Each structure stands twice: as C-alpha cells, then as structure tokens.
C-alpha cells in the first residue's frame, strides 16, 4: 500500500493503479484502496470509473467524510455542481468540525449563487480555524461577486497577514485593485510580490502590465500556464455567466460567412482551445478537429467536450511551426491577445495552412487614434491596432477576407472591444 501511495504522489498513476488492483485482489472491497484507485483513475481522465470506485468505497465505509469530499471534488471538476454539493454536504454532516469541508461547501454554494449559505460556510470555517487562509480568500471572492470590492480587499489583506507569501491572496488583491481602477495600487502589490519572489511568473508579467516596465514580447509561457491552470475550473462559468463572453460564437459566425456549408469536410485546429468552448461550434465542419493549449487544466476540460480528435499541450507558435501545411482551418478565439507583435504567430499560422486554408481569430482593439501597433493593458493582455493586423497578414502572404469591430466580452461593467478577422492562404 505504501509503495502504491508513493507512486500516486509522484504522479506515476499507471504504476499506482496496477498496485491498487493487486491489493484489491488480495483484499477485495477494501475502501481505502477503492478510494485511492478512484482518485487515480480520475486523474488519468477516467472520471466515470473514478466515481464508480469511490462510490464502492462509500458503500463499504459510509461514515468517512473524506470519501464524500473527494467524490465532491471529482464532481466539481466535471462541472456537476449539484452532485458535488450533495457530496460536500454529506462530508460536512459526517465531520462538522472540519474547517476544510466547510470551506469546500462554501465554494459550492457560491458556484450556485447561494450567497447567504456560502457566507455562513466560510464564516464557520474561519470560526473553526481563524488562520484558514483559503476561507479568507474565498470570503473575499464572495464579497467581490456581490459587488463589494472594498470588503473583498479586507479579506485578501487579512489572508496576507496570516500567510504573507500566499500567491492566491496577492493575485486576488492585485486583480481587485485593477478592477477598481487603482492601477498604481495593483502595481505595488506586484512589486512587493517580486521583491520576495523575483521569478514568479504572475508577479513578473502583471507588474509589467501595470507599470509598462519590462514588457515582454508576449505573455510568458509559465504565466499563461499557471494562470489558466488556476482558472480552468471556473473559466466557463465566469466568462459565460458574468462577462457575457462572445468570442467563440463570433468566430463560428465568421466561419459560416466564409466556409461552405458544414459537411465534416475540413481538418481544423482550435488554436488556444482552452476548455473547448469553440470545439462544438467548429465540429460540424470538422473531419478532424485538434486543439492546442499551454494549460493542462484547460485541456482536461476540453477533453470532456467529446469533439476533439487530438489535444496537444504546447506553445502555439512552436506548435504551428511544427505542423506545416496541415490545416484547412485555424481558429483562434481570445488567444492572440496574449501576444504583442503578431508577426511571428501569424506567419506560422499562414505556414501551417494548406493552400486555400482559412484563418479566423480575435484580438482586443486599440483605439484608431492610438500611435502604437500593440500595447499591454493593466489586465495583462495585449490590444492591437487595426493597421498592425493588416500589415502582419500581408507580410505572411495571407489575403484579408473580413475584419469587423466587435465586443468580445464585458469587463468591469464595460465592453471589451476587439477585432474579428478572417484571412485566407492563397499560395
């Protein structure tokens, strides 16, 4: 058992599962082994089997809160919030003095917008453990969700007092200051963070975004990977429910405008696929549909959409470079906003298209009167001038089919303006 658990902790999941299976052959129905093997199966992308195994563990030992908690974690990862809530409620019922369980339950209530219940759960977690940093951060998130950003800041600052190096509290404090328009205060948060962790990707990138100092050519890989791994669980609910996210549908509409009627006829790439929001919209045209993203957390979510023939974890420019003349269609929704100069990524996109292939993408828009070709914004993304887009498409040998000013989403109650672009490879 000890060896199996060690393999599991080292993320050697196949070896761990083999040992768990041998243990079950020796001791059939052992609840701890069933539970651990269920968790391993889930981590391997086999969530249905993982749920089944943990349910068997619960049948064998129905009074252990940890089994219900991890069952809730799996349901939460699958986006099955109602089932997760039931599992967490059962865990709390079995172990009412466990602050972690109350904190988890609060997160579920918040996801269902049951704010009073979420507040009570976080409050109970902090009563049980006054130094519970995650509960303070989550209470701050709850206040922010209800529109009380000053209240949220109070809890983030308290979390940092409890654990001065807590990256979640620093990130939340910085983004909240940004949302309030207090860019200098946000920059100061990131400056202090950099003093303690000079190489931290979020601190480094966001300090540059807030101050304009040391701006990279594109968002660094480690920043993108870390940010979106963290964001993967809540990505779709935040964008669709709170930010009125339009980019996937806008891109699909552009495909319909410039492609023939869908008959599963094209080899397609979802470039920066995230959780797969574009996948189902692209699928009617796709004979084969691949997705690429830097974030494993996002790719795990994309896998659940059931529409991708292949998913790749890679940096986009390098991935395109390694797939010359492979795609009939490349679509990139809300990904190129993490690049400054678009020249290289557009050139590689062009090279990756088959003759006659189509590129569709969005970027955030700089005002027409802006003098710069591109500029990093305090939120950490780049905005681009229309003329820069025209120039890089021409340099890459792509013919501009369509460019439309659109609203990509809302942020801080204001529209985020962007460009929706279609181009074609003629060579």
Per residue in 217-245, pLDDT (tens digit) is: 999 999 999 888 877 777 676 676 667 89
**Closest to 411 in 3D by CA, of 186, 179, 248, 174:** 179
Q: What is the pLDDT of residue 370?
A: 86
- Structure confidence at residue 236 (pLDDT): 75
Q: Provide the pLDDT for residue 427.
A: 64
CATH 3.40.50.150 residue ranges for the chain: 235-425
Counting as low any pLDDT under 70, the low residues of the chain are 235, 237-238, 240-242, 427
Cβ(155)–Cβ(140) below 8 Å: yes
The pLDDT of residue 79: 78
**Fold of the domain built from segment(s) 2-220:** 1.25.40
What's the CATH architecture for 235-425?
A: 3-Layer(aba) Sandwich (3.40)
Within the chain, all domains assigned CATH 1.25.40.10 are found at: 2-220
pLDDT of residue 412: 76
pLDDT for the residue numbered 31: 95
Q: What is the pLDDT of residue 242?
A: 67
Query: What is the pLDDT, as a whole number, of residue 111?
Result: 82
**In this predicted model, what pLDDT tens digit does every residue of 337-392 receive, in sequence order?**
999 999 999 999 999 999 999 999 999 999 888 889 999 999 999 999 999 999 99
């Amino acid at each position: 058992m000890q060896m199996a658990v060690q393999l599991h902790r080292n993320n050697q999941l196949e070896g761990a599962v083999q040992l768990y299976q041998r243990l079950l052959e020796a001791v059939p129905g052992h609840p701890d082994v069933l539970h651990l093997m269920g968790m391993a199966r889930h981590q391997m992308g086999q969530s249905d089997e993982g749920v089944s195994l943990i349910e068997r563990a619960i049948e064998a030992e129905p009074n252990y809160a940890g089994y219900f908690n991890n069952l809730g974690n799996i349901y939460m990862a699958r986006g099955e919030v109602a089932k997760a809530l039931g599992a967490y409620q059962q865990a709390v019922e079995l172990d009412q003095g466990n602050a972690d369980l109350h904190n988890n339950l609060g997160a579920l209530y918040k996801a269902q917008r049951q704010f009073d219940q979420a507040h009570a759960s976080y409050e109970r977690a902090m009563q049980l453990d006054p130094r519970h940093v995650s509960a303070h951060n989550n209470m701050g998130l709850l206040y922010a969700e209800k529109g009380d950003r000053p209240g949220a800041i109070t809890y983030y600052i308290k979390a940092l007092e409890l654990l001065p190096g807590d990256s979640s509290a620093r990130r939340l404090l910085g983004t909240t200051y940004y949302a309030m328009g207090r860019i200098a205060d946000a920059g100061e948060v990131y400056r202090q963070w950099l003093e303690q962790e000079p190489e931290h990707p979020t601190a480094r990138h966001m300090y540059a975004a807030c101050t304009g100092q040391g701006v990279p050519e594109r968002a660094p890989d480690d920043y993108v990977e870390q940010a979106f791994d963290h964001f993967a669980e809540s990505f779709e609910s935040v964008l669709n429910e709170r930010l009125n996210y339009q980019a996937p549908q806008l891109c699909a509409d552009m495909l319909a405008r410039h492609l023939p009627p869908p008959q599963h006829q094209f080899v397609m790439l979802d470039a920066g696929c995230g959780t797969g929001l574009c996948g189902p919209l692209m699928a009617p045209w796709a004979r084969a549909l691949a997705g690429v993203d830097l974030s494993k957390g996002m790719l795990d979510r994309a896998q659940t959409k059931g529409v991708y023939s292949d998913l790749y974890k890679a940096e986009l420019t390098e991935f395109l470079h390694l797939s010359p003349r492979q795609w009939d269609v490349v679509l990139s929704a809300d990904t190129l906003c993490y690049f400054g100069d678009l020249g290289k990524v557009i050139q590689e996109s062009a090279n990756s298209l088959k003759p006659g292939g189509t590129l569709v993408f969005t970027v955030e828009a700089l005002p027409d009167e802006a003098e710069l070709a591109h500029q990093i914004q305090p939120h950490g993304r780049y905005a681009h001038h229309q003329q820069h887009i025209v120039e890089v498409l021409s340099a890459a040998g792509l013919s501009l089919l369509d460019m439309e000013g659109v609203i990509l989403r809302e942020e801080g109650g204001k529209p985020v303006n962007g460009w929706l672009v279609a181009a074609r490879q003629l060579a």
